[in-house]
C-alpha cells in the first residue's frame, strides 16, 4: 500500500483495528495482525500509537466524536427544542446504521475495565455524551416543552441508561425487547414521559 499522509494513515489503522477488535476482542487482536490487515509493517503502528492500548483508547475517543457528529446531523434541521429532544430519543448510536459498527469498540471496552486507562477513557466517553444530552434537556425544559420535575442531569442519565441497555440487548439479538403486545415501544414510553401524550414516534 502506498504512503499515506499521517492523518489518513492514523485513521486507516483505527478503522482496521476496530474491525479486528470486533472479531477477536481487545485481548485477542495483536498489533501484528492489525499491521498485516492494514498492509503496513508493525513499526508503522508504533509511529502513531505508543501501544495497542493507546490505539484502543484512541478508538474510544473517536467513538465519542462519531456519536456527537451523528446526533448533530440528526438535529441539524430541528430548531424547536422539543423536536430536537424527540430526534435524540429516536437516535440510539448503538443501533443506528451509522453508529452500530463503531459502538462495538465501547462494548469491547466494557470488558476491559480492569485497565485504569481504558476505564478512564470509557468514563470520559460517557461524560461527553451526558454533557451533550444534558444541554439538550436543559434547552427543552427552558422552552417549557419538558417538565422541570427532574433535573437535566438526571434526565440525561436516564437517556444514557436506556440507550445502553437497549443497545446491549440489541447486540445480544434478544427478540422483541423493548416492545409490548400492542406494538408500543420503550421509546414511546420515554417520549410520552418527557414530552407528553402528544409525542409520536417517527
- Using alpha carbons, select from 175, 88, 99, 177 the residue that is nearest to residue 136: 88
Do residues 170 and 144 both lie within one domain?
A: yes
Q: Mean pLDDT over residues 144-160, rounded?
A: 91
Residue 164 CA to residue 87 CA, distance in Å, equals: 17
Lowest mean pLDDT among 31-35, 80-84, 194-198: 194-198
- Whether 44 maps to a domain, the answer reads yes
Residue 14 CA to residue 11 CA, distance in Å, equals: 5
Q: Is 3 exposed, middle or buried (0-12, 13-18, 19+ CB in 10 A)?
A: exposed
Is the model's pLDDT at 169 over the cut of 90? no
How many domains does the chain divide into? 2
Do residues 26 and 101 both lie within one domain?
A: no
Do residues 43 and 66 both lie within one domain?
A: no
Lowest mean pLDDT among 62-66, 100-104, 105-109, 171-175: 100-104
- Torsion, Cα 97 99 102 103, to 10 degrees, reads -110
Q: Mean pLDDT over residues 167-180, rounded?
A: 87
Do residues 107 and 189 both lie within one domain?
A: yes
- Whether 158 maps to a domain, the answer reads yes
- Whether 7 maps to a domain, the answer reads yes
Is the model's pLDDT at 184 over the cut of 60? yes
List b or e across 38-55, with b for residues whose CB sees 16 or more CB atoms inside 10 angstroms.
bebeeebbeebbeebeeb
Q: Mean pLDDT over residues 92-101, rounded?
A: 68
Do residues 37 and 66 both lie within one domain?
A: no
- Whether 93 maps to a domain, the answer reads yes
- Whether 200 maps to a domain, the answer reads no
**Tally of CB atoms within 10 A around 12:** 16
Range of the domain at 131: 59-195
Here the CATH number for the domain that contains residue 157 is: 1.10.357.10
Residue 61 DSSP SS3: helix
Do residues 157 and 176 both lie within one domain?
A: yes
- Whether 143 maps to a domain, the answer reads yes
Do residues 45 and 64 both lie within one domain?
A: no
Evaluate the CA torsion angle 97, 99, 105, 108 in order and state its sign: negative
Do residues 112 and 165 both lie within one domain?
A: yes
- Whether 54 maps to a domain, the answer reads no
- Whether 14 maps to a domain, the answer reads yes
Do residues 85 and 44 both lie within one domain?
A: no
Is the model's pLDDT at 97 over the cut of 70? no
Do residues 189 and 168 both lie within one domain?
A: yes
Distances in whole angstroms, Cα of residue 139 to Cα of each of 14, 133, 143, 152, 181:
35, 10, 6, 9, 34
pTM: 0.86
Is the model's pLDDT at 2 over the cut of 60? no
- Using alpha carbons, select from 160, 7, 154, 169 the residue that is nearest to residue 71: 160
Question: What percent of the chain has pLDDT above 90?
Answer: 51
Residue 46 CA to residue 52 CA, distance in Å, equals: 9
Amino acid at each position: 500500500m502506498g504512503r499515506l499522509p499521517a492523518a489518513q494513515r492514523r485513521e486507516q489503522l483505527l478503522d482496521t483495528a476496530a474491525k479486528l477488535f470486533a472479531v477477536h476482542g481487545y485481548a485477542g487482536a495483536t498489533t501484528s495482525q492489525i499491521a498485516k490487515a492494514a498492509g503496513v509493517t508493525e513499526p508503522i503502528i508504533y509511529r502513531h500509537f505508543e501501544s495497542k492500548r493507546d490505539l484502543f483508547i484512541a478508538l474510544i475517543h473517536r467513538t465519542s466524536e462519531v456519536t456527537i457528529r451523528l446526533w448533530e446531523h440528526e438535529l441539524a434541521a430541528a430548531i424547536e427544542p422539543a423536536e430536537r429532544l424527540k430526534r435524540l430519543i429516536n437516535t440510539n448510536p448503538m443501533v443506528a446504521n451509522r453508529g452500530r459498527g463503531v459502538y462495538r469498540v465501547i462494548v469491547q471496552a466494557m470488558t476491559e475495565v480492569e485497565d485504569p486507562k481504558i476505564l478512564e477513557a470509557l468514563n470520559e466517553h460517557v461524560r461527553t455524551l451526558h454533557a451533550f444530552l444534558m444541554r439538550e434537556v436543559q434547552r427543552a425544559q427552558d422552552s417549557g416543552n419538558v417538565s422541570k420535575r427532574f433535573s437535566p442531569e438526571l434526565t440525561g442519565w436516564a437517556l444514557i441508561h436506556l440507550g445502553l441497555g437497549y443497545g446491549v440487548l440489541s447486540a445480544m439479538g434478544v427478540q422483541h425487547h423493548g416492545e409490548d403486545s400492542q406494538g408500543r415501544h420503550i421509546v414511546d414510553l420515554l417520549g410520552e414521559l418527557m414530552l407528553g401524550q402528544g409525542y409520536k414516534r417517527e
